[in-house]
């Protein structure tokens, strides 16, 4: 797999200029199409160092964690609500959307860094009737409690267990993570077939279910 991509071809959600060097680091596959590589988060968003080599040195020292796991791959993909922790300076960040649809690294507390909402993208029955839940970040769990595709699960990253179900329903708070309104968040007003109506501030919008990520 190519390790770089043309800057002009990078996802529009990345918060870096399209002009500049011809190529940027390409994230490893396995997450959302707009997932951003660890290198860009550390160097361009958090400004931990100015060059790739300086960031590589920090990463190789085992100073960067995501989901309580040390990451040493600069191309590691970080998607919506992924956590980046730097224990040596007691800093924690969560990948979110700005109101303008660009990814940001929002500083959070250590307590917040323990928890992560994940969207249910699939369910299947395994042998002996065991139900497997597949999540947007590649995780999967065997889970017996009632939940549906497009609900979210709150995950304890340290214990790697499900804390609770966040159902897709009227009145729930949610982000829009794809499409025209990407980055907006608000309350679900109604659900009809494959469409969701949401109140976002003083405006009402309509989008398809796959674009919505329930957060509470």
Considering only residues 24 and 18, tell me which one the structure prediction assigns the higher pLDDT.
Answer: 24
Question: What's the rounded Cα separation, in Å, for the pair 132 and 138?
Answer: 12
Taken in order of first residue, the domains within the chain and their CATH numbers are 4-110 (3.10.290.10), 114-166 (2.40.50.740), 173-214 (2.30.30)
**Residue 183 near residue 204 (C-beta atoms within 8 A):** no
**Average pLDDT of every residue of the chain:** 92
> What pLDDT sits at residue 49?
95
Could you give the C-alpha distances from 20 to 16, 17, 23, 43, 178, in angstroms and in order? 10, 7, 9, 15, 26
For residue 163, what is the enclosing H or E element?
A: strand 161-166
Confidence class of residue 1 from pLDDT cuts 50, 70 and 90? low
pLDDT in tens, 94-119: 999 987 889 999 999 999 999 999 99
Residue from 74, 151, 65, 57 nearest 113 by CA: 65
> What pLDDT sits at residue 130?
85
pLDDT in tens, 147-206: 999 999 999 998 999 999 999 999 999 999 988 888 899 999 999 999 999 999 888 999
Considering only residues 32 and 72, tell me which one the structure prediction assigns the higher pLDDT.
Answer: 72
Confidence class of residue 39 from pLDDT cuts 50, 70 and 90? very high
**Residue 77 near residue 28 (C-beta atoms within 8 A):** yes
Exposed, middle or buried, 212 (CB in 10 Å: 0-12/13-18/19+)?
A: buried
């Amino acid at each position: 797999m190519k390790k770089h991509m043309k800057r002009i071809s990078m996802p529009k959600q990345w918060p870096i200029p399209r002009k500049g060097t011809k190529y940027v680091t390409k994230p490893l596959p396995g997450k959302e199409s707009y997932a951003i590589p660890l290198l860009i988060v550390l160097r361009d968003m958090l400004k931990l160092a100015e060059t790739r080599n300086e960031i590589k040195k920090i990463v190789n020292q085992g100073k960067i964690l995501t989901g309580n796991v040390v990451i040493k791959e600069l191309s590691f993909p970080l998607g919506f609500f992924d956590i980046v922790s730097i224990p040596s300076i007691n800093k924690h960040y969560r990948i979110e959307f700005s109101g303008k649809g660009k990814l940001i690294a929002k500083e959070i507390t250590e307590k917040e860094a323990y928890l992560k909402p994940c969207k249910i993208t699939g369910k299947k029955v395994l042998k002996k009737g065991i139900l497997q839940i597949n999540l947007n970040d590649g995780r999967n769990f065997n889970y017996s409690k009632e939940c549906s595709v497009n609900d979210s699960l709150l995950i304890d990253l340290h214990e790697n267990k499900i804390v609770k179900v966040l159902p897709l329903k009227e009145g729930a708070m949610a982000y829009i993570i794809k499409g025209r309104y990407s980055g907006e968040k608000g309350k679900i007003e109604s659900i009809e077939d494959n469409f969701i109506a949401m109140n976002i501030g003083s405006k009402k919008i309509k989008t398809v279910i796959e674009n919505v990520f329930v957060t509470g």
